[in-house]
Amino acid sequence: MSLDYKFEGWLGHDPSSAKGKMQWGFFEPKEWEETDVDIKISHCGICGTDLHNLRSGWGPTIYPCCVGHEIVGNAIRVGSKVEGIHIGDRVGVGAQCDSCCERDCEECSSGNENYCPRKWIGTYNAIHKNGGKSYGGYATYNRSPSRFVFKIPDAIESKHAAPMLCAGITTYAPLKRNNCGPGTKVGIIGFGGLGHFGLMWAKALGAEVTVISRKSDKKDDAFEMGATKFIATAEEENWAIRNAGSLNMIFSILSSSKLPYPEYLSLLCKDGTFIQFGVPEDGPLTIPAISLVMKRVKMTGSLIGSPSEIREMLQFAAENVIKPWVKELPMKDANQAIVDMTDGKARYRYVLVN
């Protein structure tokens, strides 16, 4: 079958591409299988992971690499073995586009495909089971296995749905798993794309949310989104002592190992949970054992969400009218957008639009 559309996108050819030097070009999607969906991309969010990958920050990237894993668009080709998706449907793809999906895989068979230990296939910079390479959403089209293609509820605009597929689910899943609800006091360290989602989900789940940031420049935004408290660590003396033991759960979204982890941990009450999202490129976290021992706090991490959690989140977002703060930018400006993202200018998510 010869297609009447071409896969083109912004390609990183080496680590310098992360500095706004991606080049537009064609790429060859994985060989078609009847379980696949081709998507005409309308929107793609810009995630911090895109930058890590463009610059080979987490290990050597397979260049050329087209990043972007907050993809929304319309299904324009649907394999004969695909269930529940039809040509024309508005659909999305997140950070993972396939897993082993074998019945004898404990994770895949129990709906935890995002922890599949055998084949965790990223939406870009990965090799599909059939040997093809995966390419992301800073592009015209995307081809992904249908198990990881999600229908977008009508109530959610595409520009809002796109960032939900990575930033959204990454924060939604651990809140639900850790029983966030009325009475829970959540702290958000790192108030950006993921952080502002965390605030909105937690608020919608009934929790009180404290935003913890270096400076107070995002304070008004945080309160507008529903925060009940804001701590500016660079501006408030003794912030750790004054707020000690005040939180049940902390989301740490920053990607640096040079952070005051002992002070952050001191904000937790007994049996509190510290959830790490970022994977710093600059080294391991340094955690004083005493912080863990004295209040029995738990330090853990979280990795996106499963397909079933993504479906649940989309439903929750539709019902609770969750609207992330996004700025739409034309796809042609992707290079400038990743530079601005690196500089921390996003308030709070850039979404590229075709």
Q: Where does this chain bind a second copy (CB under 8 A)?
A: 107, 112, 115, 117, 245, 257, 262, 270, 276-280, 283-303
Cβ closest to a second copy, residue 125 vs residue 142 = 125
**Least Å distance between CB 98 and a second copy?**
17
Residue pair 10/136 in contact (Cβ under 8 Å)? The answer is no
At closest approach, how far in Å is the CB of 34 from a second copy?
Answer: 31
Q: Which lies closer to a second copy via its Cβ, residue 300 or residue 336?
A: 300
3 vs 294 by CB, closer to a second copy: 294
Contacts of 159 (CB under 8 A, 6+ apart): 43, 326, 328, 351, 353
**In this complex, which beta carbon is closest to a second copy, that of residue 77 or of residue 298?**
298
Q: Work out how close the CB of 303 gets to a second copy at its nearest, in angstroms, rounded to a whole number.
A: 5
Beta bridge partners of 151: 91
Nearest-approach distance from CB 195 to a second copy, in angstroms: 16
What φ, ψ does residue 37 adopt, rounded to 5°? -130, 135
**Nearest CA among 114, 68, 71 for reference residue 91:** 71
Nearer to a second copy, 296 or 345 (CB): 296
Distance CA 301, CA 303 (A): 7
Number of CB atoms found within 10 A of residue 238's CB: 8
Smallest distance, a second copy to C-beta of residue 302, A:
6
Cβ nearer to a second copy, comparing 240 with 292: 292
How would DSSP label each residue in 91-112? EEE-SEEE----TT-HHHHTT-
Cβ 232 vs Cβ 214: under 8 Å: yes
The structure tokens listed for 145 are 């296995």
CB of 80 to a second copy, least distance (A): 34
